Amino acid sequence: METIIRKAGKKDSKAIHNLIKELAIFEKEPDSVKISVLDIENHGFGSNPLFECIVAEISNKVVGMALYYPRYSTWRGPTFHLEDLIVSEKYKGKGIGTKLYSAFIRQSYNAGVQRIEWNVLNWNTPAVNFYKNSGATVLDDWDTVQMHRLEMEKYLNSLKES
């Protein structure tokens, strides 16, 4: 089976959404996906896209993706953040993830970014080892910090009370 790696289009939004839901299940967070197919269409393929995406396709079926967006490093300059690199479970172990990873790195390099970065769950040993073996540095001394909309609202409300 030939794997085609290409830039995603709006028509891929449902497949992208399905892969995101599949990843959430793998990461033991099946109820955490709150975005819809329409959100993906609007946020990725509207007039002001918030992300870019590369897909892997076999026999006209999207079986993997690399979704990323631009950031800026105050130390390095332009950066791309790889939000998710996903290969559908049925297609893992066939080199598709490596092809997507390589396409993302090539796209980043050609775009002139100075750094690419992403997160990996520490219990996902195959991914951690894959990244280390590719020459990437897995930082053990940085913790990811997140604040969701509800927490933002609570924080902002606490400022009003002060």
**Among all residues, which ones are annotated catalytic?**
131
CA–CA dist 88, 3 (Å, integer): 13
Residue 123, classed as helix, strand or coil, is: coil
CA–CA dist 45, 11 (Å, integer): 9
Structure tokens at 111: 């775009």
- Integer angstrom CA distances of residue 102 from 1, 94, 96, 135, 148: 19, 14, 10, 12, 31
Rounded to an integer, what is the distance from CA 95 to the centroid of its chain?
18
Question: By C-alpha distance, which of 60, 50, 70 is closest to 11?
Answer: 60
